Amino acid sequence: MEFLRRISLITFIILVAVSIFQDLAHSDGTTSVSNNENLELPPFEAVPVKVNPGDTVLSITEEIQTITVNTVSVEIILKAFESLNPNTSSNDIHVHEVYYFPQFQEEH
């Protein structure tokens, strides 16, 4: 009985290892969170801002605007932020760090 238990455990470990290897070998390393990849960004400039306690990407973006951005959707604001800060998620900003935020421009 002990022999069957050992064989079963070894087989299970091998199957898990092969499964993990296959997942990693065939992954292209990208993940798609949203199907809004085709959002066209309006013109904007990058403004460096130091984050204070209680700040969010949306609150900072709203504060630095020189025009009203009522026509800009939340998805576009977040996509613009993440395009300016490619290694940072809009949900994971840290206090006292400097990030670039989009300051949207009038379309001519």
Tens digits of residue pLDDT in 3-34: 999 999 999 999 888 888 887 777 655 443 34
What pTM, to 2 d.p., does this model score? 0.61
**What is the Cα–Cα distance from 5 to 76, expressed in whole angstroms?**
56
pLDDT digits (tens, 9 = 90+) for 52-78: 999 999 999 999 988 776 678 899 999
- What distance in Å separates the CA atoms of residue 12 and residue 6, rounded to the nearest whole number? 10
* pLDDT tens sequence across 78-95: 999 999 999 999 999 999
